[in-house]
Amino acid sequence: MTPQEASERAEAICRLAPVVPVLVIDDLAHARPLAEALVKGGLPALEVTLRTPVALDAIRIMSEVAGGTVGAGTLLTPADVRAAKAAGAKFGVSPGVTDRLLDACEADDLPLLPGAATATEVMALLERGYTVQKFFPAEASGGAPALKAIGAPIPQVRFCPTGGVSLKNANDYLRLSNTLCVGGSWVAPKEMMLRGDWAGIVALAQEAARLG
């Protein structure tokens, strides 16, 4: 998969909904009902972060939910890429990039949403062919004003800002011409998952799906 093809796939996924849920799953029993609730609420693209021991199994289970497109977040190494692809991930997300990580995603045909926080990082990815990127950590890197500023000289790159994005500030990003969608964890609060409040998560997803 070429970087150009990866960006085309990533853009299509980003356009599925204004918000991509960023999910940290500690209890494997939550995987299926969580995916079902988010998809039902109108958020079909799901990023499962590889931050817990059950993350890969969660990707396998969530990939079986009709209407969902499940990806793996926090990809750091080529081994992460291989494991995510084997688990059924349809796309990958990384907080930053290395050449080895990009090589692995391209070799394994896993579309990557690569992380960048500065104009230099954005330019380096663009030089390789990535026109769709993750702006991370969004709020810590200057928020929507910083992303708008990057877009002025580099308008051909579009972003999914993640990191500190919430219901309160999501539209600040979504109003920008270089933002395709945002990534956020607020649609799947840990407390709601622990309570099994899947109806509440459906409601949060519906609210998020109306943004933009």
168 is catalytic: no
Q: What is the CA radius of gyration of the chain?
A: 16
Strands (E), 38-110: 45-49, 69-73, 92-93
Is 34:61 a contact under the CB 8 Å cutoff? no
Q: Other C-beta atoms within 10 Å of 162: how many?
A: 26
Q: Of the residues 47, 85, 90, 106, which is catalytic?
A: 47
Which is it for the CA torsion 107, 112, 114, 119, positive or negative?
positive
8 is catalytic: no
| Cα–Cα distance measured from residue 121 to residue 89, given in angstroms and rounded to the nearest whole number | 25
Q: Of the residues 36, 85, 106, 134, which is catalytic?
A: 134
CA-nearest of 59, 41, 60, 108 to 81 is 108
Long-range contacts of 60-65 (CB under 8 A, 24+ apart): 60/87, 60/88, 61/28, 61/31, 61/32, 61/35, 62/31, 62/32, 62/34, 62/35, 63/87, 63/88, 63/89, 63/90, 64/32, 65/32, 65/35, 65/36, 65/39
> Catalytic residue positions?
47, 134
